[in-house]
Amino acid sequence: MVDDLRASFIDSLVRLGSVVRFLIRMLVNLPRALPRWDLIAQQIYNSGALSLVIIMLSGLFVGMVLGLQGYQLLQRFGSEDALGTAAAIGLVKELGPVVTALLFAGRAGSALASELGLMRATDQISAMEMMAVDPIVRVCVPRFLGGVIAMPLLSAIFCMIGIYGAQLVGVQMMGVDSGSFWSQMRASVGMADINEGIVKSCIFGVACSLIAVYEGYHATPTAEGVGQATTRTVVTSAVVILFLDYLLTAAFL
C-alpha cells in the first residue's frame, strides 16, 4: 500500500517534470511561432469562438441561479439591494474564471487533445517531422497560445452574461430596484476584483491549454490511447483548476 502510494507519487512527479519540460520547449519556440499569426488566430477561433455558445448559455444560467439564491438569502436580512454586488463579486472573482475554465476543459481542451492524438495516430505529426517542419512550432504553440488568449475573453463574456442573468431574475422577476442593483455593483466592485478574475482566468488558460496540448501530443497512437488522453485532459484540468483556484484565492486575500 505504502509502496503503491510512493510509486504513484514518484510517477506524478516524473509526469509533472515532463509537462514542465514540454512547456519550456514551447516557450523556447515561441519566437518562431509568433509570426504565424494566421495559425494562432485560427486556434483562437477554434478554442474561443466555437466555445461561445456553451459559455454564454452556462453564464446565463449560473447568473440566474445566483440571482435567485442571492435574492432568497439577502431578503432575510432586508439587503436585497445588494444583489448586484453579490452576483458581480461572485462571478468576477470566482465563478466566472472557474466555471469558464471547467467548461473550456470539457469542450476546447478535449477537442485539442483528441485532435492532436489523432494527428499522432495517423502519422500526421511524423509526416511533419519528415518534411523538416517542427510540430511544436507548427501545431503545439499555436494551439497553446489560442487557448491562453481565448480563456480570459471567454471568462469576461461569461461574467457579463452571468450578471445579465442575475439582473434578469433579481430585477425583472423578483422586483429588486434596478437603480440599486447597478449602482451598488458599480460602487462595490473595484479594479482589484476584476484584476483577480483576469489573473485567474489567464493562469487557468495556461494550465488548461498546456494539459490539453501535452496530453494530445503525447497520446499513445491508438484509438484507446487517444480516448485516454482526452479523458486525462478533462480530469486533470478540472483538478488543477480547482487546486489553483484555492491557491490564487488565498494569494489575493
Return residues touching other proteins (CB under 8 A). 118-119, 122-124, 126-134, 138
Cβ proximity to other proteins, 73 vs 133, nearer residue: 133
Cβ proximity to other proteins, 72 vs 126, nearer residue: 126
Cβ proximity to other proteins, 15 vs 36, nearer residue: 36
Cβ proximity to other proteins, 1 vs 131, nearer residue: 131
State the nearest-atom distance from the C-beta of 136 to other proteins, in Å. Answer: 11
> Which residue type occupies 116?
L
State the nearest-atom distance from the C-beta of 119 to other proteins, in Å. Answer: 8
Cβ proximity to other proteins, 94 vs 134, nearer residue: 134
Cβ proximity to other proteins, 19 vs 118, nearer residue: 118
HEC per residue, the chain = CHHHHHHHHHHHHHHHHHHHHHHHHHHHCHHHHCCCHHHHHHHHHHHCHHHHHHHHHHHHHHHHHHHHHHHHHHHHCCCHHHHHHHHHHHHHHHHHHHHHHHHHHHHHHHHHHHHHHHHHHCCHHHHHHHCCCCHHHHHHHHHHHHHHHHHHHHHHHHHHHHHHHHHHHHHHHCCCCHHHHHHHHHHHCCHHHHHHHHHHHHHHHHHHHHHHHHHHHCCCCCHHHHHHHHHHHHHHHHHHHHHHHHHHHHHHC
Cβ proximity to other proteins, 1 vs 130, nearer residue: 130
Are 187 and 129 a contacting pair, CB within 8 Å? no
State the nearest-atom distance from the C-beta of 130 to other proteins, in Å. Answer: 5
State the nearest-atom distance from the C-beta of 128 to other proteins, in Å. Answer: 8
The backbone torsions φ and ψ at residue 70, rounded to the nearest 5 degrees and listed phi first, read: -60, -45
State the nearest-atom distance from the C-beta of 141 to other proteins, in Å. Answer: 14
CA 15 to chain centre: 21
State the nearest-atom distance from the C-beta of 217 to other proteins, in Å. Answer: 15
State the nearest-atom distance from the C-beta of 155 to other proteins, in Å. Answer: 27
> Which residue type occupies 196?
E
Q: Three cell numbers at 35?
A: 509570426
Q: Three cell numbers at 85?
A: 454586488
